[in-house]
């Protein structure tokens, strides 16, 4: 485990409630709790704690949303189903560009950028 991660978890184990999703607030809380003389190290630890807390919150929201979505899967709208797969393949064929067409688009874009400068 690297130094930043280890230090962050040591601080979080004892003072998890003092940290949130805001980097500047986490830096202030870190200043009150610890003595870190290096500004860079302090910023890295505060940043790691901030990212860690954001991931935890997103994971909790995802789990909550996942429970709601699993009950709604049975009630899907039938109009969203693809009725005829031939229509889809025709659309894909229409969208597919050849290499020459892509080169033409790139050349046109470059000449527009040159004119705007």
- CA separation, residue 15 to residues 9, 57, 89 (Å): 10, 17, 57
Burial degree of 19 (CB within 10 A; 0-12, 13-18, 19+) = buried
Q: How many CB atoms lie within 10 A of CB 29?
A: 19
pTM (2 d.p.): 0.54
Tens place of pLDDT for every residue, the chain, 117 residues? 699 999 999 999 999 999 999 999 999 999 999 999 999 999 999 999 999 999 999 999 988 887 765 555 555 555 555 544 444 444 444 555 555 555 555 555 555 555 555
CATH number of 3-71: 1.10.60.20
Using one digit for the tens of pLDDT, what is the confidence trace for 33-61? 999 999 999 999 999 999 999 999 999 99
């Amino acid at each position: 485990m690297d130094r930043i991660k280890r230090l962050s978890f040591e601080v979080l184990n004892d003072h998890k409630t003092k940290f949130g999703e805001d980097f500047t607030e986490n830096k202030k809380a870190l200043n009150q709790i610890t003595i870190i003389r290096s500004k860079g190290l302090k910023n890295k630890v505060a940043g790691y704690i901030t990212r860690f807390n954001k991931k935890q919150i997103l994971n909790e929201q995802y789990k909550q949303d996942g429970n709601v979505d699993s009950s709604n899967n049975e009630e899907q709208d039938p109009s969203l189903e693809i009725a005829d797969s031939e229509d889809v393949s025709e659309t894909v064929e229409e969208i597919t560009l050849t290499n020459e067409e892509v080169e033409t688009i790139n050349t046109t874009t470059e000449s527009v950028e040159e004119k705007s400068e």
